[in-house]
Amino acid sequence: MIGRLPLLLREDKVALGSWVTIANPEVVEMLSLSGFDWLLFDMEHAPLDYQMLEYMLMAVRGDATPLVRVPFNDPVYVKRVLDLGVAGVLFPLISTPEDAKLAVKSTRYPPKGIRGVGPRRAASYGLKTEEYFDRADEVMVVVQIETQEAVKNIYDILSVEGVTAFFIGPNDLSFSYGKRGWKDDEVRLAIERAAEASKSTGVPGGMYCPDDDSLKFALQLGFKLVALGSDYRFLMAGIRDRLRRARAALEEVTPK
């Protein structure tokens, strides 16, 4: 399943996405029906296993592009999620060009890479195997920039052939600098350096933006792969807002 994300990036347009962390297909269906351009299934920090991931991918509707963040930059993780039929992989903790090269090789079949052959669901269970192999190199490789070393090596990382895009992990990046958040001057400068590298290399960048301030910052920098938050954050925001308004209404009708 490719979806509309690759086209939006080729056209230099902003693509809005959401993190998926709740292990339930209905959550995926609701998010994809709501109009997100892409969904990121988080296997690094969320309690998602491979079997549940397969069920959740079946619930993707419309043109939303499914991506998966693997637990680590390890070919064993990568081949398993790709065989389930995702359009691309987000690789955490990419700090050197060597890391990026391994990430790309993990997504490519020999002789270009080291991915094992056995696409299963990705090839419609054998019904479209040859068609899948013909387009297998279209798998998106998104590298996550979240360390000081990554920022230092950003130009070399983005110059690795096969890297589709990069993504700023603002929390991990800020902690790497001994800070707590992207608004610190040193962290902002690091993100701005990544944005400059994006413009120089032509590799689109992205960022996790759970609030309006981070969203405006990312858009001003020209980032195209923009995450508006995650399923549990949307749920908590809705709960808190509904309770706040209900309590305000209760105050209005309660006799003083």
Q: CA 50, 55, 60: angle at the middle one, nearest 5? A: 120
Beta strand segments in the chain, E: 15-20, 38-42, 65-69, 88-91, 140-145, 165-168, 205-208, 225-230
Neighbouring CB atoms inside 10 A of 151's CB total 23
Select which of 13, 45, 180, 216 is catalytic.
45
Burial of 232 (0-12, 13-18, 19+ CB in 10 A): middle
Q: Which two tokens stand for residue 112?
A: 């270009």
Q: Are 43 and 71 in contact (CB under 8 A)?
A: yes
Q: Does residue 45 carry a catalytic annotation? A: yes
Q: Return the active site residues.
A: 45
